Amino acid sequence: MNKMSNHTHLFDRYSRNARLYPAFLGILPAFVTIYMLFPEIYETIGKTIASLAVGCGALTLIASSVRHFGVKKETKLYKLWGGTPTTIWLRHADKNLDPVTKSRYQNFILKKVPGFVLFTPQEEKADPIRADDYYKSATKWLLEFTRDKKRFPLVFEELVNYGFQRNTLAIKPLAIFIIFLSIILTATTVYSQHISEWYTDVKYIVPTFISIISLFLWIFIISPNWVRSAANSYARALLASCDGNANLRKFSKHNRKTSK
């Protein structure tokens, strides 16, 4: 356990929350099932395998794999939504922001982002792809502008939440598959041992309960709309950084120093 804690310490908060935790959530039913039905495996073999796996970089592999699936899922989500939330929110036709706030953000970006062009509603409608390119460029600038976690804690918090929910959705098929394997394992064990009153034994009740609750969660809660809610919260926090004038002065001063 100490070895795993020390190894996990190597991951920053984003990697733990947004990459490792979705994976652990996905394998939870299987872990509980094996632990409850075959405790001897955990005692004799499980700990050794876990230590070796962590020592061989299994956590890094898991985090990397979850990120890979998350990025692929994100591309599909953007197509489903019609663009990234920040791009959508900056469009004149979108109503997520009131006109006054949107105008303030757009003017801020116009003044501070090199090469940015602010389209009129008519120009945006006539050439939406080109307008979106400028909004995407502005978003990239804001991402760099808000990279400091201490100065923009809310942006980072929403980024972590979004990363967790996006990556959790990305591994949904695998998680559901693992749940069904866990249920089959429990049922097979009950059947092979001819246990008639399995529902009175905690050994079988707990993994069954965890599997059913997990299945409900993965099927009915974890969805594109669930992720979009987090994505919108992240977009709101990221765009709200346009009001961070004090931070902007520090950021601009830093850019001038590094450009000399």
Q: Report which DSSP code applies to 260.
A: -
pLDDT in tens, the chain (260 residues): 344 444 444 578 999 999 999 999 999 999 899 888 888 776 766 666 666 666 557 788 889 999 999 999 999 999 999 999 999 999 999 999 999 999 999 999 999 999 999 999 999 999 999 999 999 999 999 999 999 999 999 999 999 999 999 999 999 999 999 999 999 999 998 888 877 777 778 888 999 999 999 999 999 999 999 999 999 999 999 999 999 744 444 444 444 444 44
For the chain, how many residues are written? 260
Q: For residue 179, what are its two tokens?
A: 């749940």
Vertex 120, ends 114 and 124: CA angle to 5°?
Answer: 90
Please count the CA atoms within 13 angstroms of the CA of 44 that sit on its side-chain side.
Answer: 4
Please count the CA atoms within 13 angstroms of the CA of 249 that sit on its side-chain side.
Answer: 2
Q: Write phi, then psi, for 198 (nearest 5 degrees).
A: -65, -30
Burial group, residue 10, by CB count within 10 angstroms (0-12, 13-18, 19+): exposed
Vertex 81, ends 154 and 176: CA angle to 5°?
Answer: 85
